[in-house]
Amino acid sequence: MEKAPKKKPIKQIKEYITEIEYQKLMTYLKGKENLHSCTKSNLARTFTLLYFTGCRLNEIKQLKVRNIKTIIEMTEFIIVTYKTHKERKLFFSKNAIKEIRKHFDLGKEKNDSYIIGVKGDYSKTPSVSTFIGIVNQFIQEVLGKRYSSHSFRSGLITEMSKSVNPKFIQKFIGHADINTTMRYIKPTDEDLRECMVR
């Protein structure tokens, strides 16, 4: 008897995070009183840096307070992308610096402390899998299952694609291949409606 072909799982549409979703996350986080203050701080710092840089979570997790001081002072920072083992230069707008400042008490925090701590201890940082789990669980609690931390990255790339040369976006986001950058561009329903010519 012939076996029935296996059904391929449906590939779901992944949504991306724009300013609206970012603000929803931050507002919800602010009102979430049952969260440990360290977790709250970790998430606020993470969402802000993801929104303005399009970094990966493991890149954010490695940052220390001295790195944030450099970012605020110089408005740029060289980060090592562990996925590709390459350096990548990050640039920050005045608006980004203003938002970042809100989440750091740079007069009190030690230079060598991680910006993402474990239960109030910033001398260590959580494992990548634990950190990804916490961040994605919170994002999906607020925005739904079609969102993840990677939605920040695709959101930034898509927004940039409307007015910025794709080669510049590739360099900014740290992709070795421009085809990878192009795969991240996901037009919204509104973008597609505006494309209609008939």
pLDDT at position 53 is: 92
Strand pairing partners for 76?
91
Residues 6+ apart with CB under 8 A from 134: 39, 42, 43, 126
pLDDT at position 1 is: 61
pLDDT at position 87 is: 85
pLDDT per position as a tens digit, 14-40:
888 999 999 999 999 999 989 989 999
The pTM is what? 0.84
Three-state SS string over the chain comes to CCCCCCCCCCCCCCCCCCHHHHHHHHHHHHHCCCCCHHHHHHHHHHHHHHHHHCCCHHHHHCCEHHHHHHHHHHCEEEEEECCCCEEEEEECCHHHHHHHHCCCCCCCCCCCCECCCECCECCCCCCHHHHHHHHHHHHHHHHCCCCCCHHHHHHHHHHHHCCCCHHHHHHHHCCCCHHHHHHHCCCCHHHHHHHCCC
Give the angle 11-137-141 at the CA atoms, nearest 5°. Answer: 90
Instruction: Classify domain 19-190 by CATH number.
Output: 1.10.443.10
pLDDT at position 157 is: 87
pLDDT at position 2 is: 67
Residues of the chain with pLDDT under 70: 1-2, 4, 83, 197
